[in-house]
């Protein structure tokens, strides 16, 4: 589908001169409108991306003081992967687990807000978005207090024997996955809400008139119609969650570190730019691969 | 829609823009082939001093590293004293949270010999050494620093990275040792206890600063952190790795271990003396331990980076803080080791108890156990840091 298909592009009528001028102007209008966005994309996405790509091929023997030479060192990739594959797989595992949790919570939430909330709709939406008004870091630190070893939550879980007497939540994979789920939930809920809100209630009524069970109605009507929101939401959730390093850093331990932590340390601590860049590129391609497979299977090419 | 003009589709546009952008950028960057050397020289990167006309100064420091008024946190008595004495306005920013992070913040400018907008920045020994090695730091004029000449502690003079004492002046020094919360666990004496005692499992943190954590480990193995071999380092690292793999060590931290220790989420840790003394004021069960095997001594140093335009103003401030009375005022608040001789006598007037605190004015018993980490060259630094980072999970 094309957004700009409706721009009257002159429709090929070589008429009087003023009209030609007009149509020529219309012809360039879309490009003109695109100019700010395209320039932004070029400057802040494409250029850094190419720079990163070339950094990933720098000579790994280079250093800050002597500078790095581009030697097309493709060996940086296998080396990086071999050293850090556990963190890599962990990133996808944790992000995947968080996504499942977020879907279980987010879908009913979005559905309730969109279809059942009535006059509370706006208030509930504000509640979903409100945490975003404080910084990501502060929210994650708040979770440290909630999950604290001596906090009420851990105390309660110990009392009901869900946790052993020495059990804890903080500094475990559970805490990291919970943190990821919480921090990125709004990115999933908002697009879902947007598509569920447009859901025509009469379609659901029609389904039940035709003797579809509620489950079947959901499977055959609601779910397909909410697909665009669901897909956009999952992507918006999964992509940043995979690359996140704050949750693992603050709520986890070294044994929970994700690939983001490794990249952070490669760039800031070890000053190994080629490896940091190679890891970033690997992460990016892995995510792209997952997204492509997902979109193919979900059957919506519209998103791209 | 079919027309003489091909309609612009989203996908076509995306491919087109990205493709041409990539080509453009590729041409531009790849032609550059790599990064230029970050090394600067005194002749190559000359800074201008505008102190004569501009009575101001930008000072970047760590959080909670400056005395504040008991009643009004926005007031900083010693710094305000400097402003009223000299008329130099100080823009004081607490934006150094981590040496590496801060390095990332300023490296692009300094590598290209550009200003960072800062006239003084406070960084730990090894980071100061790295920046000095890269030629990023301006030489100070000793004629403007009579107090430093007179009062700097002898043990902090002629350090390997600044043998002539004209590049880095200690702001505060401190010890890295052990700390524990007596409400959660019993007394702790050695590093081996910290790393193996069963009741501490999962309740221990260590520092992300490699030199502090590894220095203590080297000493617990009976080796000298000021002079060790690669295999001794590996031995110490294996000891750490065992504690990480078994889940005994919960996390590696910067300053942020302090609230966790106070809450009791962690029972014991490798920590810094100043933090622990401050926690100890609120809760006397939180204690700092100088392990029998030895303790690490470090300093945070005031540095004037290249292209800082108020060097003389910066020197005035450095000199001001080496006045024993001012140093005592600061030390009474921050509780790190005071690098200024004569401050102990001044401290007697402010708070006699602090004046006799060996963690602020260390005695011979502690100084004889204190070691400074070996100066590393770039290759060693990367080798050790990479190994260490792999153990701490990144």
Summarised one tens digit per residue, pLDDT across range B254-266 is: 878 988 899 888 9
The residue-averaged pLDDT of B47-62 equals: 92
Structural domain range at position B98: 56-172+300-360
Chain-chain contact of A265 with B134 (C-beta, under 8 angstroms): no
Is residue A66 one of the residues assigned to a domain? Answer: no
Residues B164 and B306 in one domain: yes
What domain count does chain B have? 2
pTM check: above 0.90: no
pLDDT above 90 for B1: no
**Chain B interface test: which of A19, A57, A59, A65 (most B C-beta within 10 Å):** A65
Is residue A95 one of the residues assigned to a domain? Answer: yes
Summarised one tens digit per residue, pLDDT across range B144-164 is: 999 999 999 887 888 878 888
Residues B181 and B148 in one domain: no
C-alpha distances in Å from residue B255, one per residue of B96, B207, B289, B344: 11, 8, 17, 26
Distance CA B332, CA B355 (A): 9
Distance CA B346, CA A287 (A): 61
Report the pLDDT value the prediction gives residue B23, as an integer from 0 to 100: 63
Is residue B11 one of the residues assigned to a domain? Answer: no
As given in the structure block, the two tokens for residue A38 are 């395209």
- Contact residues on chain A for B378, CB-CB shorter than 8 A: 63-65
Report the pLDDT value the prediction gives residue B29, as an integer from 0 to 100: 54
Angle (CA) B121 B126 B127, round 5°: 35
Residues B312 and B184 in one domain: no
pLDDT above 60 for B6: no
Angle (CA) B84 B86 B89, round 5°: 75
Per DSSP, the three-state class of B97 is: coil
Is residue B119 one of the residues assigned to a domain? Answer: yes
Distance CA B286, CA B271 (A): 11
Of B382, B386, B380, nearest in space to B230 by CA: B380
Domain at A123, CATH number: 1.10.3720.10
Of B337, B330, B375, B332, nearest in space to B351 by CA: B332
Is residue A146 one of the residues assigned to a domain? Answer: yes
Is residue B19 one of the residues assigned to a domain? Answer: no
pLDDT bin (cut points 50, 70, 90) of residue B31 is: very low
Least Cα separation, residue B198 to chain A (angstroms): 12
Residues B187 and B265 in one domain: yes
Summarised one tens digit per residue, pLDDT across range B208-233 is: 889 999 999 999 999 999 889 999 99
Report the pLDDT value the prediction gives residue A268, as an integer from 0 to 100: 85
- Contact residues on chain B for A11, CB-CB shorter than 8 A: 3-4
Residues B212 and B79 in one domain: no
Summarised one tens digit per residue, pLDDT across range B151-206 is: 998 878 888 788 888 999 999 999 999 999 999 899 999 999 999 999 999 899 99
The residue-averaged pLDDT of B46-67 equals: 91
**Do B370 and B363 form a contact (C-beta atoms < 8 A)?**
no
Is residue A263 one of the residues assigned to a domain? Answer: yes
- Does residue A149 belong to the interface with chain B, where contact is any CB pair within 8 Å? yes
Minimum-distance CB partner of A254 among B34, B244, B378: B244
Spell out the per-residue pLDDT of chain A, length 304, in tens. Answer: 344 444 444 444 444 555 566 676 778 888 888 899 999 999 999 888 998 999 999 988 888 888 888 888 899 999 999 989 999 999 999 999 999 999 999 999 999 999 888 899 999 999 999 988 889 999 999 998 899 888 889 888 988 888 877 778 888 899 999 999 999 999 999 999 999 998 888 999 999 999 999 999 999 999 999 998 999 999 999 999 999 999 998 898 878 899 999 999 888 888 889 999 999 999 999 999 988 888 888 765 554 4
Chain-chain contact of B382 with A66 (C-beta, under 8 angstroms): no
CA A234 to chain CA mean position, Å? 7
In this structure, what DSSP letter does residue B137 have? B
Chain-chain contact of B265 with A149 (C-beta, under 8 angstroms): yes
Chain-chain contact of A257 with B3 (C-beta, under 8 angstroms): no
Chain-chain contact of A62 with B34 (C-beta, under 8 angstroms): yes
Least Cα separation, residue B100 to chain A (angstroms): 6
Minimum-distance CB partner of B25 among A31, A46, A83: A46
Structural domain range at position A258: 85-298
Summarised one tens digit per residue, pLDDT across range B297-310 is: 899 999 999 999 99
Residues B206 and B279 in one domain: yes
Of A175, A198, A189, A194, nearest in space to A127 by CA: A189
Element (H, E) at B171: strand B169-181
Distance CA B27, CA B19 (A): 12
Residues B66 and B110 in one domain: yes
Is residue A7 one of the residues assigned to a domain? Answer: no
**Chain B interface test: which of A83, A248, A268 (most B C-beta within 10 Å):** A268
Is residue B306 one of the residues assigned to a domain? Answer: yes
Sign of CA dihedral B97, B103, B104, B110: positive
What domain count does chain A have? 1
Distance CA B347, CA B329 (A): 7
Residues B185 and B269 in one domain: yes
Is residue B27 one of the residues assigned to a domain? Answer: no
Q: Which chain B residue has the Cα nearest residue A1?
A: B9
Sign of CA dihedral B110, B116, B118, B123: negative
- Does residue B13 belong to the interface with chain A, where contact is any CB pair within 8 Å? yes
Q: CA torsion angle for B243, B247, B252, B256 (degrees, to 10)?
A: -130
Report the pLDDT value the prediction gives residue A61, as an integer from 0 to 100: 84
Is residue B50 one of the residues assigned to a domain? Answer: no
Report the pLDDT value the prediction gives residue A12, as an integer from 0 to 100: 45
- Does residue A70 belong to the interface with chain B, where contact is any CB pair within 8 Å? yes
Report the pLDDT value the prediction gives residue A254, as an integer from 0 to 100: 79
CA B119 to chain CA mean position, Å? 17
Chain-chain contact of B38 with A64 (C-beta, under 8 angstroms): yes
Is residue A18 one of the residues assigned to a domain? Answer: no
Is residue B7 one of the residues assigned to a domain? Answer: no
Report the pLDDT value the prediction gives residue B163, as an integer from 0 to 100: 85
Q: Which chain B residue has the Cα nearest residue A272?
A: B382
Residues B155 and B214 in one domain: no
Is residue B49 one of the residues assigned to a domain? Answer: no
Residues B222 and B235 in one domain: yes
Give A25's contacts (C-beta < 8 A, 6+ positions apart): none
The residue to which tokens 């007009």 are assigned: A22
Q: Which chain B residue has the Cα nearest residue A254?
A: B393
Q: Which chain A residue has the Cα nearest residue B18?
A: A46
Minimum-distance CB partner of A304 among B11, B202, B208: B11
Summarised one tens digit per residue, pLDDT across range B363-390 is: 888 888 888 888 888 889 889 988 998 8
Scored b (16 or more CB within 10 A) or e, A226-245 reads bbbbbbbbbbbbbbbbbbbb
Least Cα separation, residue A241 to chain B (angstroms): 18
Residues B257 and B330 in one domain: no
The residue-averaged pLDDT of B60-69 equals: 90
Give A5's contacts (C-beta < 8 A, 6+ positions apart): B1, B7, B8, B9
Is residue A48 one of the residues assigned to a domain? Answer: no
**Do A205 and A192 form a contact (C-beta atoms < 8 A)?**
no
Domain at B122, CATH number: 3.40.190.10
Size of interface A-B (CB pairs under 8 A): 163
Report the pLDDT value the prediction gives residue B2, as an integer from 0 to 100: 40
Residues B262 and B341 in one domain: no
Chain-chain contact of A49 with B38 (C-beta, under 8 angstroms): no
- Does residue B25 belong to the interface with chain A, where contact is any CB pair within 8 Å? yes
pLDDT above 80 for B34: no
Q: Which chain B residue has the Cα nearest residue A271?
A: B382
Q: How many residues does chain B have?
A: 394
Least Cα separation, residue B133 to chain A (angstroms): 9
Q: ipTM of this model?
A: 0.75
Least Cα separation, residue B235 to chain A (angstroms): 20
Chain-chain contact of A67 with B35 (C-beta, under 8 angstroms): yes
pLDDT above 80 for B315: yes
């Amino acid at each position: 589908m094309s957004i700009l298909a409706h721009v009257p592009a002159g429709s090929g009528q070589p008429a009087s001169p003023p009209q030609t001028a007009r149509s020529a102007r219309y012809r360039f209008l879309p490009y003109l409108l695109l100019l700010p966005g395209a320039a932004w994309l070029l400057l802040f996405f494409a250029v850094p991306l190419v720079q990163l790509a070339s950094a990933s091929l720098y000579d790994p023997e280079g250093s800050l003081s002597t500078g790095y030479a581009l030697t097309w060192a493709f060996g940086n990739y296998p080396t990086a992967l071999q050293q850090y594959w556990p963190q890599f797989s962990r990133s996808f595992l944790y992000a995947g687990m968080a996504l499942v949790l977020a879907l279980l919570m987010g879908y009913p939430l979005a559905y309730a807000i969109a279809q059942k909330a009535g006059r509370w709709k706006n208030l509930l939406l504000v509640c979903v978005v409100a945490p975003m008004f404080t910084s990501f870091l502060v929210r994650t630190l708040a979770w440290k207090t909630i999950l604290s070893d001596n906090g009420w939550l851990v105390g309660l879980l110990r009392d009901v024997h869900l946790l052993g007497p020495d059990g804890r939540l903080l500094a475990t994979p559970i805490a990291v996955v919970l943190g990821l789920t919480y921090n990125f939930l709004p990115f999933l809920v908002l697009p879902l809400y947007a598509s569920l809100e447009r859901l025509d209630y009469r379609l659901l009524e029609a389904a039940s008139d035709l003797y579809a069970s509620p489950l079947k109605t959901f499977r055959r009507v609601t779910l397909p119609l909410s697909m665009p929101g669901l897909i956009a939401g999952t992507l918006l959730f999964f992509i940043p969650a995979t690359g996140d390093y704050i949750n693992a850093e603050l709520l986890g331990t070294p044994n929970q570190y994700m690939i983001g932590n490794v990249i952070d340390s490669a760039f800031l601590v070890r000053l190994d730019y080629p490896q940091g860049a190679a890891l970033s590129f690997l992460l990016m391609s892995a995510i792209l691969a997952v997204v492509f497979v997902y979109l193919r299977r979900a059957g919506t090419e519209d998103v791209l | 829609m079919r027309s003489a003009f091909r309609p612009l589709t989203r996908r076509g546009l995306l491919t087109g823009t990205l493709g041409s952008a990539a080509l453009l950028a590729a041409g531009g960057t790849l032609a550059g082939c790599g990064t230029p050397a970050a090394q600067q020289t005194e002749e190559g990167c000359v800074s201008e001093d505008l102190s004569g006309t501009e009575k101001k100064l930008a000072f970047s420091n760590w959080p909670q590293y400056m005395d504040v008024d008991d009643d009004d946190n926005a007031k900083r008595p010693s710094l305000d004293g400097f402003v009223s004495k000299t008329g130099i306005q100080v823009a004081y920013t607490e934006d150094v949270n981590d040496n590496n992070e801060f390095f990332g913040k300023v490296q692009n400018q300094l590598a290209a010999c550009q200003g960072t907008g800062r006239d003084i920045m406070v960084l730990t020994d090894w980071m100061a050494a790295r920046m000095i090695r890269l030629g990023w730091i301006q030489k100070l004029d000793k004629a403007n620093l009579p107090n430093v000449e007179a009062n700097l502690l002898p043990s902090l003079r002629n350090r390997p990275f600044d043998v002539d004492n004209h590049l880095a002046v200690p702001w505060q020094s401190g010890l890295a040792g052990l700390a524990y919360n007596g409400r959660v666990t019993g007394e702790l004496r050695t590093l081996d206890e910290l790393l193996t005692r069963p009741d501490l499992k999962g309740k221990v943190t260590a520092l992300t600063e490699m030199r502090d954590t590894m220095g203590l480990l080297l000493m617990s193995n009976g080796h000298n952190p000021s002079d060790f071999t690669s295999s001794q380092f590996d031995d110490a690292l294996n000891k750490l790795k065992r504690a990480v793999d078994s889940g005994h060590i919960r996390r590696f931290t910067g300053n942020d271990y302090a609230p966790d220790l106070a809450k009791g989420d962690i029972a014991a840790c490798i920590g810094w003396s100043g933090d622990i003394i401050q926690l100890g004021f609120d809760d006397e069960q939180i204690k700092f331990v100088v392990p029998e095997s030895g303790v690490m001594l470090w300093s945070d140093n005031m540095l004037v980076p290249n292209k800082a335009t108020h060097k003389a103003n910066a020197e005035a401030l450095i000199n001001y803080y080496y006045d024993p009375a001012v140093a005592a005022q600061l030390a009474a608040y921050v509780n790190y080791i005071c690098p200024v001789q004569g401050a102990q006598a001044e401290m007697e007037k402010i708070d006699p108890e602090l004046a006799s605190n060996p963690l602020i004015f260390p005695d011979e018993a502690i100084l004889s156990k204190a070691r400074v980490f070996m100066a590393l060259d770039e290759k060693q630094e990367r080798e050790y840091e990479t190994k260490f980072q792999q153990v701490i999970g990144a």
